[in-house]
Amino acid sequence: MKNIILLVACLVCSIFQLTAQEIECDVKINVEQLTAEGRENLSDFIQQIKQYIEGYKWTKVDFGDLKIKCSMEIFFLGVTENKRYTAQAFIGSQRPIHKTDRNTATIRVLDDKWEFEYVRSQSLIHDEFRFDPLLSFIDFYMYVVLGQDFDSYKVYDGTIYFEKAVDIVNKSRGSGGGKGWESTSQTIYSRGQFIDEILNPNFRDIRKAYFTYHYNGLDLLQSKHEKAQTNILTALESIGKLRDKINQQTLLMRLFFDTKYQEIAESFLDYSDRSVYEKLVKIDPSHQNTYEEYAYKPR
């Protein structure tokens, strides 16, 4: 009898491990601009969204006890009588830096064009074959989070997840998905523009640099510090060369540097050649003030 109980317990544990979810998401909302009725309707929203994200198996990979940590802060701007909400959302994710107790941000995006309907206690069911203004938005960013995480460990390894995000964009365009799904320009953020650039063959060097920056750069800072700094600089210079080649900064470049500029500046604080900050200004002029500030900081 004891052997049977033990066998059942092992099977349950095995099933749990096989179905263990990959993403741990901190969900927060701000409802100050809504009516009392609009706020009341969202009383279970955080719980529902968190369960939707963390209760679904997004990949076929066994992550074990590891979780990709992400955050979603939703600022509600308005609501109609039909419970149609307008909102903007900040989406961020991070991954650990090898042999340290620190994490690095893999994506930080503010999406200010989100409209959807929500009724309290409605069922939230993952369906990749149907476009839904609420759930497809979340699906899109979960696949982007996964793609960025996988790309940081192996070059172009996140492609399968970015392709799933593209599929969502395509479905949105075929069903009148609303604002934010269309491709706009390289100066204005939209989900469509962002994912189009990620998978654009002309910008593959950005993704390769993204991998080098993380895996051969940040992850080596603890064990091979100078080599890691050299690799980080090489990655940044390759992005700079692409920027010069196309004579403009793409949306993908801007999001990368907006996410990383502070970390980049700190990574070179003890670098042997302080002129490196002049190079950083040329590569990423949008954050010139930060690089110039760090150039004069003590090592």
Do 57 and 188 belong together in one domain?
Answer: yes
For residues 48 and 107, state if they share a domain: yes
* Sign, Cα dihedral of 155, 161, 167, 173: negative
- Scored b (16 or more CB within 10 A) or e, 279-288 reads bbbebbeebe
Is 108 in the same domain as 219?
no
C-alpha span between 166 and 267 (Å, rounded):
33
Query: Does residue 281 share a domain with residue 192?
Result: no
In a domain, 11, yes or no: no
Q: Is 10 exposed, middle or buried (0-12, 13-18, 19+ CB in 10 A)?
A: exposed
Kindly state whether residues 26 and 147 are assigned to the same domain. Answer: yes
Q: Which residues of the chain have pLDDT under 50?
A: 1-19
Residue 188 pLDDT: 86
Q: Are residues 118 and 260 in the same domain?
A: no
Considering the domain architecture, whether residues 155 and 280 belong to the same structural domain is answered as no
Closest to 206 measured CA to CA, from 151, 258, 132, 160: 151
Q: Give exposure, 30-46, as e/b (b: 16+ Cβ within 10 Å).
A: ebeebeeebbebbeebe
C-alpha angle 128-171-93 in degrees, rounded to nearest 5: 65
Domain shared by 71 and 86, yes or no: yes
Q: Which residue has the tokens 């996140």?
A: 158
**Quick one: 120 and 181 in the same domain?**
yes
Q: Residue 79: beta bridge partners?
A: 85
Q: In this predicted structure, what is the pLDDT of residue 20? A: 54
- What's the structural domain count of the chain? 2
